[in-house]
Chains A and B, each alone.
Chain A
């Protein structure tokens, strides 16, 4: 049961990070000069999304 829950959690986080990556890749293709700032925003957003996934991980092994 724990593993199934964690799998669902990974699906959510994977979708979230992939949406963010898609948007960042699109924007970089349109405007390569904002690459540096977009990278920071992307890392921040991924860290927020990833935190949810890690909460799921910790809850599932506790």
Chain B
């Protein structure tokens, strides 16, 4: 039994070492890590999918989408437009729709690329999620400054109508929480993708460990142990389905929060 525990912890260490961003092309200073490599692949895939979608849309004679691909893409675009942009931003949704849709589809494709076995999600490294979060951060501050001016935006962080000392205090807290948004956006997406894949990997290890006695010799006891791995296999499939759901939900949450921050920066006092 102690042997089995040792084996589990060894395999866990091996599993975690595959999550380090090793170089796929070139070296780690001037090249691509495994994460950025698959992120680039997701980008190319997204570009191709969007190109085909736009071309087919222009070529079709009627407004009704035909086939799985066209319907899926149209549903995605419609989802961002109605459930994210129109629902949170209100009248000005048209101006921010391109940016938010870009973020949504980039994160979505990054997440789903990682769901294929042996591939890594582009969004599973802090570098990529930090970059997207930074873009969102710069975008909503730029929107706020364009709308109210630098002074006006800084002043609008604290609600008007408070006594002066309390207003200064609230302003400091608000500035702090604004910078915290950048970190939470990045860390939330990274942790969801990273932890999800570690959990799936652990379950896969548990699946294989109970089969090993059966590989060495076929006996009733070995068959009994191997039946345990069936249970882990079922759990692994359940977790996989949950991860498919989470990949979509995280893309939605990232976009929704960006939209909420834009709306907060833009709103009139």
Contact = CB atoms under 8 A, between A and B. Distances in A.
Interface of A: 43-44, 47-48, 50-51, 54-55, 57-58, 61
Given A43-B249, A61-B198, A51 B16 contact: no
A51 B249 contact: no
Q: Describe A's contact surface by its main secondary structure.
A: helix
A51 B198 contact: no
Interface of B: 16, 187-188, 190-192, 194-196, 198, 246, 249-250, 253, 256
Contacts, number: 30
A58 B195 contact: yes
Main SS class of interface, B: helix
A61 B16 contact: yes
B253 A58 contact: no
A54 B253 CA distance: 15
A54 B187 CA distance: 10
A47 B250 contact: yes
A50 B191 CA distance: 10
A54 B16 contact: no
A51 B191 CA distance: 7
A55 B16 contact: no
